[in-house]
Amino acid sequence: MIPKGNELLERLNKKYTLAIATGALGEVLKNHFFPRFNIPNVFSEIVSVHDLENKSLAKPHPHIVQEIMRRTGCKPEETVMVGDASNDMLMAQRAGVTPIAVLTGHLNKEEAGKIGVKYIIPDITKLETILDKLP
């Protein structure tokens, strides 16, 4: 858990539509993980690879991000994908949305740079700094 992470989520939720694109089961996140860590109910959508009938539409295919945009009514130019893996960044690029790499997972700065990610942050606490810079 990130210190003051829940406060960050609450602040972001006041300004943005938040959603999750995940390889985990959405129901497990909502019913077990979120309550265990007191994560607030701020996500308008959770789309999981387990929701897909056609598994070839999983990350890095753009389908999950496109589905979230369809459900939320967001356009690519007003959407960002925050992720910690190269497949997250590739999915964002293929969906035409801005990728933001967080270096707390499976991706390092060099790898993110090689796949063309412009916005790279050491941890999620720096996200607001990047979002404030975006048009």
- The answer to whether the Cα torsion of 66, 76, 21, 33 is positive or negative is negative
Structure confidence at residue 135 (pLDDT): 81
Query: Residue 108 sits in which domain range?
Result: 5-133
Structure confidence at residue 4 (pLDDT): 86
Q: How many domains does the chain have?
A: 1
**How far, in Å, CA of 111 to CA of 114, rounded?**
5
Structure confidence at residue 3 (pLDDT): 79
Structure confidence at residue 126 (pLDDT): 94
Structure confidence at residue 71 (pLDDT): 97
C-beta of residue 103 within 8 angstroms of C-beta of residue 119 = no
Mean pLDDT by 10 residues, the chain (135 residues): 87 97 94 94 96 92 97 97 96 98 95 96 94 90
CATH number at residue 109: 3.40.50.1000
Structure confidence at residue 2 (pLDDT): 79
